[in-house]
Amino acid sequence: MAVLTIRDVPDDVRDALARDARERGQSLQSFLLGVLKRQAGFGRNRQLLAEIERELATGGGAGEDAPDSAALLEQARTGREHGDDLTGHGAGGAA
How does pLDDT run across 72-87, given as a tens digit for each residue? 888 888 877 776 655 5
pLDDT digits (tens, 9 = 90+) for 35-54: 999 988 888 888 888 888 88
Q: Which domain holds residue 35?
A: 9-60
Residue count of the chain: 95
Task: Flag whether 87 is in a domain.
Answer: no
Give a yes or no: residue 32 inside a domain: yes
Helices (H) and strands (E) counted in the chain, each on its own, are 3, 0
Q: Is 28 part of any domain?
A: yes
0.75 surpassed by pTM: no
Residue 66 domain-assigned (yes or no): no
Tell me the C-alpha distance between 84 and 73, whole Å. 14
Burial 39-51 (b: 16+ CB within 10 A, else e): eeeeeeeeeeeee
Residue 50 maps to a domain: yes
| DSSP symbol at 18 | H
Domain count, the chain: 1
